[in-house]
Structure 1
C-alpha cells in the first residue's frame, strides 16, 4: 500500500513538471524601438500542445503597472489606438511619445497553475528638443564673474549636446549640458549655441547671448602727435566699455574747455579732440579719461611741436662697394623748419655680454627747405673695412629735439650683412642713447611731463 502511494506521488510530480513546461511563453521579452505614427504589436503567446485558447482564463496588459486591458473584464476600457487580440497580443497604432514605457502581459491560468507574466517595452523614437538656461536666452555677468549656462535635452534616444561659440564648434572634452567658466576676458561675450541630436529628425538648437559688463578700456593708435602753431590737430582715443562710459578730455589734471576752437567729437567708439589753429600753449600731455559704473580707464597723448622721428631711406647699390665710407639718406616730417641733425653711429655688435663700442656723434647742419618733409644725405668717411655699423638720427627744430629714429644697420664692402640686419629696428627703452647735453631745455621739460620711462636717456658703453 505504501509503495503504491509513493508511485502515485511520483506520477503526480511528473505530471506537474510536464504541465509547467507546457505553460511557458512561446513569445520572448522584447524592446520595440518605433518611430512616431508606426504600429507596434506586443506578443503574449503560451506554448501549449493543443494551442487551446481555453487554456488561459484571462489575459491582462499593464503599462508601467497600470491596467490598460483585461479580456475577462469588459468594464476595463482599452485606450484609444490600442487593440487586444484574441490570441492575447496587444496592438498599438499610430504610436506617440506618450506610448513609451514598460508593458507587462499577464495570463491567468486554471488551477492548479497561477498567473504567469512577460515584460516588453516600447521606445517611441522622436526628434530632440532642448530647453536653455537662462530660459530667456540672455545672460549678463560682470568681468571676472562666473558664467553658468546650460541646455537640457529631451528625446528618444537621449540626445547628445554640442556647443558652438560665434558659429564655431567648441572643442570640449565631453558632451556636457552645463557650461561653466570665468568671464576673464570681455571678448568671451557673444552668442553661445547648443545643439541636441539623437539621429531622429533635425537637431534641436537654442542660443544664449552672453553679455559681459566691464570698466572702460581706452586705447590710442598714436600716443605722440606732431603739430605746429597755426595748424589743426586731431587727438584720438578709442573707448570700449559696458555700460557706456562718459569721456572727458584733460590737459594735465584740468578739463579741456570746449569752445568753437576746441571741439570734442564722437564717432562710435572713437573720441576726437579737434584743436583748430593750434597755439603754442596747446602743447602738452592730454588725457582721454572714460568712466562708467564699474570703474575708469585713461590714455595719455602728447601734442608736441618737435619733429617726428627721422626715417632712413634705402641707399644706392654703390654703397655696398665702398670700403671705408657709406652714404646715409633720411627724411624727417616737421611743420617747423629743421635746424640741425645729430647722427649717431658705431660698429654693430650683437648682444653677447661683451662691452659695446661707444657711439660717435656727428652734428650735421641743414640747408634751406620749405618742408614739411626734410630730406638729407650724408656720407660717413673713415669707416673700417668689412665692418657692420648701426646708426640713428635725431633732429631739432625751434621746439626741441625729436625722439630717436629706428636704428639702421649698414656695412662697408666685404662685410656679411644679411637682409634682417639691413632693415631698420625700433629703439628699445634700454637703447635710448641720446645724451642729455644734446637736448634743449624745452625738450627736457616736455619729456619730464610725458614719461621718463619712454625716453629714458642715458649713455651706453
Structure 2
C-alpha cells in the first residue's frame, strides 16, 4: 500500500540564524520528509546565490569564504507533488571589518565656496568614523559639518579658506578591524582630459580637452612630439558656460608632418598653481593630400606619475629625457574677457591659433 505524504522540513540550525566572520565557511542543512521523497532546492531571498545561480538542489548548501555580500535570507523549498511545497528560511549574518571607499579622491573647491568630502563605509558591527586633516582629528564646528546618509559619511566645509586645502582622511574602525581612505581638497585644476580624435589632417591638429577648476585657467602647458618634444606655455582668453562643472579648452597645432604618429600632454594652471599632467594622448596625421573626418576621441593612456616625476625632478623649461629629446618653451600673452563668477561651473576657452615650428 502506497501512502502519499506531503513534504515537511527541518532546518539546521533550528533557530534559523547563522552568524559568521567574513572569509569563513558556512553550511546550511534542510532535512525533508515526505512520500514520495521530496526534492529540496535552495535560493536566496532578493538575489542570487553566491555561486551566481538562482537555485541549487540538495539537502546541504555549502558556502566557502563567505563575503559581506553573501549576508541575507536563504530559503529551502521542499516539494514532492503532494500538496503545496513547504519553505524554511535561514538568516546569514556576516561580521567583517570596515570596508571604505571614496566617491572622489580629489575634490576641487575655492575660497568662499563649499566643499564636500564623502566616504562610503560598509562594516558589521557598525563602525566609528573619524575625520582627519593631515594628522589632526577634526571636530564639528559651525563651518565644518559631519553627517551620515545610509552608508555615506560626509564632511562638508563651508566658506572654504586657504588653510582648508590639503589632505584629509576618513578613519573607520569596529571591533574586528580598521580601514581608511584619503581625499585631497585642492584649489588647483584637476588633470586635463583630452577629448580630441585619434586622427587628424596632414599638417594640423585641433587639440581639445576639459578640466575641472572653479578658478579661471590662467595658463596652459601643451607638450607634443613626433621625435622631439615641444613645450608650449599658453595664457588663453576665456569664456564661460554654466552647463557643467568643467572648462573646455582647445589649441590648434600646425605645421605637423604628414603620415606620422604624435603624442601630447596637457597641464593647466589657475591661481593656486598647476594641476597634474593629463594622460598621454596619441594621434595620427593622414598622408599628404588626404583629409580626415574627425570621429570620437580615444586616448592612449600612459603613466602620468612617471612622466610627471621626470618633469618635476628637473624643474626647468629644458628637460633631458632618457632618449635625449629636448623641450622647447613658447609663451603666448593673453587677452582676458569676462570675469569668473563662482556660481558658474563650466567655462569654454578658445586659444589663439599660433604656428608651432618643429625644429
- Tell whether the 8 Å contact from 2:42 to 2:55 is kept in structure 1 after alignment: no
> For structure 1, which segment, 183-192 or 216-225, has the greater mean C-alpha deviation from structure 2 after superposition?
183-192
* Structure 1 equivalent of residue 38 of structure 2: 159
* Structure 2 equivalent of residue 48 of structure 1: none
- Tell whether the 8 Å contact from 2:100 to 2:121 is kept in structure 1 after alignment: yes
Gaps of 5+ in 1: 1-31, 34-123, 348-356, 441-457
* Structure 1 equivalent of residue 90 of structure 2: 208
* Structure 2 equivalent of residue 362 of structure 1: 232
Question: Displacement of 1:459 after TM fit?
Answer: 5.0
Question: Displacement of 1:233 after TM fit?
Answer: 0.4
- Tell whether the 8 Å contact from 2:26 to 2:66 is kept in structure 1 after alignment: no
In the alignment, is residue 149 of structure 1 matched against residue 28 of structure 2?
yes
What is the aligned counterpart of 1:391 among 264, 267, 276?
264
Cα distance in 2 between the residues matched to 1:323 and 1:270: 51
In the alignment, is residue 192 of structure 1 matched against residue 70 of structure 2?
no
Question: Displacement of 1:161 after TM fit?
Answer: 1.6
Cα distance in 2 between the residues matched to 1:234 and 1:199: 59
* Structure 2 equivalent of residue 228 of structure 1: 110
- Computing the radius of gyration from Cα coordinates, the structure with the larger value is 1
Cα distance in 1 between the residues matched to 2:117 and 2:315: 26
Cα distance in 2 between the residues matched to 1:420 and 1:374: 21
TM-score for the superposition, normalised by structure 1? 0.61
1:244-277: CA deviations, max 9, x gaps? 1111101112101320000101111111100011
- Tell whether the 8 Å contact from 1:283 to 1:303 is kept in structure 2 after alignment: yes
* Structure 2 equivalent of residue 245 of structure 1: 127
1:376-429: CA deviations, max 9, x gaps? 432212311012323221011232211222443333233999999941344435
Cα distance in 2 between the residues matched to 1:424 and 1:152: 58
What is the aligned counterpart of 1:410 among 279, 283, 288?
283
1:329-382: CA deviations, max 9, x gaps? 3333322232211112234xxxxxxxxx55432222223557885544322123
Greater fraction helix? 1
- Tell whether the 8 Å contact from 1:218 to 1:290 is kept in structure 2 after alignment: yes
- Tell whether the 8 Å contact from 1:341 to 1:366 is kept in structure 2 after alignment: yes
Gaps of 5+ in 2: 324-359
Cα distance in 2 between the residues matched to 1:142 and 1:128: 33
Counterparts in 2 of 1:279 and 1:179: CA distance versus 1, 3 Å: same
In the alignment, is residue 180 of structure 1 matched against residue 56 of structure 2?
no
In the alignment, is residue 138 of structure 1 matched against residue 17 of structure 2?
yes
What is the aligned counterpart of 1:282 among 164, 177, 181?
164
* Structure 2 equivalent of residue 323 of structure 1: 202
Cα distance in 1 between the residues matched to 2:106 and 2:213: 13
- Tell whether the 8 Å contact from 2:43 to 2:56 is kept in structure 1 after alignment: no
Cα distance in 2 between the residues matched to 1:141 and 1:220: 27
Counterparts in 2 of 1:199 and 1:368: CA distance versus 1, 3 Å: closer
Counterparts in 2 of 1:196 and 1:232: CA distance versus 1, 3 Å: same
- Tell whether the 8 Å contact from 1:158 to 1:198 is kept in structure 2 after alignment: yes
Superposed, 1:248-397 pairs within 5 Å as: 248-314=130-196, 320=200, 322-347=201-226, 357=227, 359-367=229-237, 374-397=247-270
Structure with higher RCO (Cα < 8 A, 6+ apart): 2
Aligned length: 311
- Tell whether the 8 Å contact from 2:280 to 2:304 is kept in structure 1 after alignment: no
Three-state SS of the structure 2 residue aligned to 1:241 is strand
1:211-264: CA deviations, max 9, x gaps? 101111110121011111111100111101111111110111210132000010
* Structure 1 equivalent of residue 340 of structure 2: none
TM-score for the superposition, normalised by structure 2? 0.76
Three-state SS of the structure 2 residue aligned to 1:155 is strand
Cα distance in 2 between the residues matched to 1:366 and 1:172: 58
